[in-house]
Each structure stands twice: as C-alpha cells, then as structure tokens.
C-alpha cells in the first residue's frame, strides 16, 4: 500500500482517480483548491500547507501543462527522497519534470479519453532509473482504466500520443461525418447515430476477435461490382483516405514534438 499525492483533479484526473480508488488499496490525497467531488476515503487539501509534514511515495501530476512550473515546486518536498513523479499531462516532457526534481525517477502516463469509462489505451514511459516496484505500481494504476503500451523513449510517447492520445478526436470526427451522411440518405438523427455506432462497434469487435488481417476482413464484405466495392472506391479508390490518415497522425506527432 503506497501513499499517493494527486496534484490537480480535473476531468481526466478525477476519472482516473475514481478507478484507482475503486480497484487498488493505495492511500490517495488530492491537492486541488477547487474542492472536487472525490471518492470515499480520498483526502483533499487546498494548499501545500495543509499537508503539514506528510511524505508520499508517488506524486502524480494531473495539472494543465501551463500550470506545472508554477505549482509543482511547492509540493516536491512532500515527495519522499526515493519517491517517483508520474504525470498524465500532455505536452510536458519527462525531461522537464526530472529537471525540477533531481534524483527522483519519472514515469509519464499518456491516457486517452475512453480511460474515463475504463476503455482507454495509455502509453507509459519511464525516464532515467526507475525501480521495478515503481514501474509495477504505476503500471497497475494505468491498467485500472484500460490497456497499456510501454514505450522506450519520449519520442515514441509523442508518436503514441498522435495515434492513441489524440485518436478519439479523429474517431469522433469520422463518426460525425458518417452520421451526417446517413441522415442525408433519409434516416433520422437518432436512427443514423444508432446505425453508424452499431456498425462501427460490431466491426471493431469482429476485428479484435478475428485472426484474419484487416485487409482480409475488408475483402470478406466486398463483392466485385457490389455496393461495398462502390463505397470503398469512393472512400479510398485513389488512396486519398489513407493519405489523410497518414497526414493526420504526422501533424499530431509534429505538434507533440513542438510542445515538449
């Protein structure tokens, strides 16, 4: 059982905390002047002075990136000498965190939005020398909200951010356009949304459970000269869709690099 201080408790931090409090036996304290709604058993302070001389095994940063330089230094003395800093903040590198806390190990977690319902995909990156215990405990926290992928560099975490961290935004935009097109074919907004999301959910479940490649699955519903072939030709006959997806991920990755 570890003592964990969560610095900030916004929408993502609060959702992750609820999962952590429910699925682990760690002792959590939240430092947030906004007095968020917290799970039973979680303590809350509005300032570092309220912590007195308490010491924590982990300090997890869940602040907006632009607030970290201002807020983090005051709380670092509350982290034990062998403690680990973790962060769910996008756009603030592990190297910058380590520079603020010499001698402490750093693990970044990059969750995506579905983590709030336990269906997320989180990237993890350990900076510098991190103990096996710290890696294991942070990994278990991340697993509370979905699947995880460890990467071996900050650059790979930026690439993961482009794919998974920002990914729900791409999916929601594709769904929006898909639903809009279904409405233009004559379906009500409700029916169009049900048709599109149901089709997407079923296809995703099949893709995950099947041993066949995505190309094979696509071909299994595509008859020569049929309706699916006509739709696919309009979607990606000139590889425009593939190019758009490539350009989307590249733009997100390049922006992640700029924000380090």
pLDDT in tens, 93-144: 999 999 988 888 999 999 999 999 999 999 999 998 899 999 999 999 999 9
Residues 6 or more apart whose Cβ sits within 8 Å of residue 182: 191, 192, 195, 196
With a pLDDT cut of 70, the percent of the chain lying above it is 100
Q: What mean pLDDT is reported for the chain?
A: 95
Beta strand extents in 52-157 (DSSP E only): 56-61, 79-87, 105-110, 120-127, 146-151
Distance CA 57, CA 254 (A): 34
Q: What CATH number should be reported for the domain whose range is 167-259?
A: 1.10.3730.10
Write out pLDDT tens, residues 139-183. Answer: 999 999 999 999 999 999 999 999 999 999 999 999 999 999 999
> What's the token pair of residue 25?
């036996």
| pLDDT on residue 34 | 87
Element (H, E) at 104: none
Question: Strand, helix or coil at 58?
Answer: strand
What are the sequence ranges of the domains in the chain?
A: 3-152, 167-259
For the full predicted model, state whether its pTM sits above 0.85: yes
In this structure, the strands spanning 56-61 and 3-7 are parallel
Q: What is the predicted pLDDT for the residue at 90? A: 86
The number of beta carbons lying within 10 Å of the beta carbon of residue 243 is 11
CA distances from 67 to 73, 109, 156, 204, 230 (A): 11, 18, 24, 38, 51
CATH architecture group of domain 3-152: 3-Layer(aba) Sandwich (3.40)
Q: Which two tokens stand for residue 114?
A: 């579905």
* Dihedral, 195, 121, 214, 237 alpha carbons, nearest 10: 70
Helix (H, G, I), strand (E, B) or coil at 15: helix
Do 193 and 172 form a contact (C-beta atoms < 8 A)? no
Torsion of CA 52, 58, 64, 69, to 10 degrees: 70
């Amino acid at each position: 059982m570890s003592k964990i201080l969560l610095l900030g408790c916004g929408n993502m931090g609060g959702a992750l905390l609820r999962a952590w409090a429910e699925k682990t036996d760690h002792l959590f304290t939240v430092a947030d002047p906004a007095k968020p709604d917290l799970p039973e058993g979680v303590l809350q302070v509005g300032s570092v002075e309220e912590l007195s001389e308490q010491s924590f095994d982990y300090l997890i940063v869940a602040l907006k990136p632009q607030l970290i330089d201002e807020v983090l230094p005051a709380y670092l003395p509350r982290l034990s000498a062998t403690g680990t800093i973790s962060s769910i903040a996008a756009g603030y590198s592990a190297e910058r965190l380590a520079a603020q806390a010499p001698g402490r190990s750093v693990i970044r977690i990059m969750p995506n939005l579905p983590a709030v319902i336990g269906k997320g995909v989180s990237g993890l990156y350990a900076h510098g020398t991190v103990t096996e215990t710290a890696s294991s405990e942070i990994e278990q926290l991340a697993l509370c909200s979905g699947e995880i992928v460890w990467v071996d560099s900050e650059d790979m975490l930026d690439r993961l951010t482009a794919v998974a961290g920002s990914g729900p935004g791409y999916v929601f935009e594709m769904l929006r356009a898909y639903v809009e097109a279904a409405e233009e074919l004559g379906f009500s907004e409700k029916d169009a949304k049900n048709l599109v999301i149901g089709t997407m959910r079923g296809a995703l479940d099949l893709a995950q459970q099947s041993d066949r490649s995505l190309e094979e699955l696509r071909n299994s519903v595509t008859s020569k000269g049929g309706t699916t072939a006509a739709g696919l030709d309009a979607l990606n006959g000139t590889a425009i869709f593939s190019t758009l997806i490539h350009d989307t991920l590249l733009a997100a990755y390049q922006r992640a690099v700029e924000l380090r």
